[in-house]
């Protein structure tokens, strides 16, 4: 009797772990997003370039995650129009999705869509060499599978999906989404039943 080929489950799981350095970038983006408006006002007064860079980083990573979740073709073209459009256009686009997407600091003055552009400062380090001041974590993005960089459908935080079908960043958000899906289904079923009863 021939032996079945053994599958190394641990090696397969390791293949989809968050790449080194990427979690640091994800944490930085989520921290920027959680910054209060009052704190942003202080940062913008003290250092407008830092504020612009940080908002740009946060917005760019969210847009990449949003685009990666959409199928290529019409949906991405409609996203490109909506993301640079008015709040009403954005709401209409999001109504076609399972949930509303993150949209802070929209670029309403952009004439046309462009791929997310993330800028960073170059500084001369103590050793006299030139290096990126803040966003040297961006190197962690090169070559990753874009579909695994996701936006949580509940809290809108960025997370790395070790399983491609994940839609929430953790157990709490996943549970909340399941409960919401269950309630929505129950509500729809009740409405259908009422409609059927009407003569």
Structure tokens at 152: 């949580």
| DSSP for 124-175, written as a single string | E-TTS-EEESSGGGGGGGTT--GGGEEE-TTT--EEE-SSTT--SSSHHHHH
Give every CB contact of residue 164 below 8 A, 6+ residues apart in sequence.
147, 148
Q: How large is the average pLDDT for residues 111-121? A: 77
In the DSSP assignment, the letter for residue 8 is: -
Nearest residue to 66 (alpha-carbon basis) of 150, 141, 162: 150
Task: Compute CA distances 50 → 40, 120, 134, whole Å.
Answer: 10, 9, 9
DSSP class of residue 76? H
DSSP 21-52: THHHHHHHHHHHHT--HHHHHHHHHH-HHHHH
- More confident site: 101 or 13: 101
Look at 2-11, 130-139, 158-167, 171-180 and tell me which has the smallest mean pLDDT: 2-11
Query: Domain-by-domain residue ranges, the chain?
Result: 19-167
Would you state the pLDDT for residue 93? 93
Sign of the CA dihedral 154, 157, 158, 160? negative
pLDDT tops 90 at residue 33: yes
Residue 3: what pLDDT? 57
| Whole-number percent of the chain with pLDDT over 90 | 37
Mean pLDDT for the chain overall = 84
Strand partners for 130: 124
For residues 108 and 120, which has the higher predicted lDDT (pLDDT)? 120
Note the pLDDT tens digit of each residue in 90-109: 999 999 888 889 999 887 66
Lowest model confidence (mean pLDDT) among 3-7, 176-180, 186-190: 3-7
Across the chain, how many H-helices and E-strands are there?
7, 4
The reported pLDDT for the residue numbered 10 is 46
Cα separation, 149 vs 22, in Å, equals 10
């Amino acid at each position: 009797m021939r032996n079945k080929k053994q599958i190394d489950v641990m090696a397969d799981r390791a293949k989809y772990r968050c790449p080194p350095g990427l979690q640091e970038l994800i944490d930085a983006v989520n921290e920027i997003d959680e910054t209060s408006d009052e704190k942003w006002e202080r940062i913008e007064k003290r250092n407008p370039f830092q504020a612009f860079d940080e908002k740009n980083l946060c917005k760019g990573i969210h847009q990449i995650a949003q685009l990666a979740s959409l199928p290529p073709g019409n949906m991405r073209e409609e996203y490109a129009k909506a993301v640079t459009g008015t709040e009403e256009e954005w709401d209409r686009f999001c109504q076609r999705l399972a949930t509303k997407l993150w949209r802070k600091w929209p670029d309403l003055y952009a004439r046309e869509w462009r791929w997310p552009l993330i800028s960073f400062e170059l500084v001369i380090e103590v050793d006299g060499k030139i290096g990126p001041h803040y966003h040297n974590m961006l190197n962690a993005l090169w070559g990753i599978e874009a579909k695994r960089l996701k936006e949580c459908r509940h809290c809108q935080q960025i997370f790395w999906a070790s399983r491609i079908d994940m839609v929430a960043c953790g157990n709490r958000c996943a549970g909340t989404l399941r409960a919401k899906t269950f309630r929505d289904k129950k509500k729809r079923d009740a409405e259908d039943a009422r409609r059927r009863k009407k003569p």
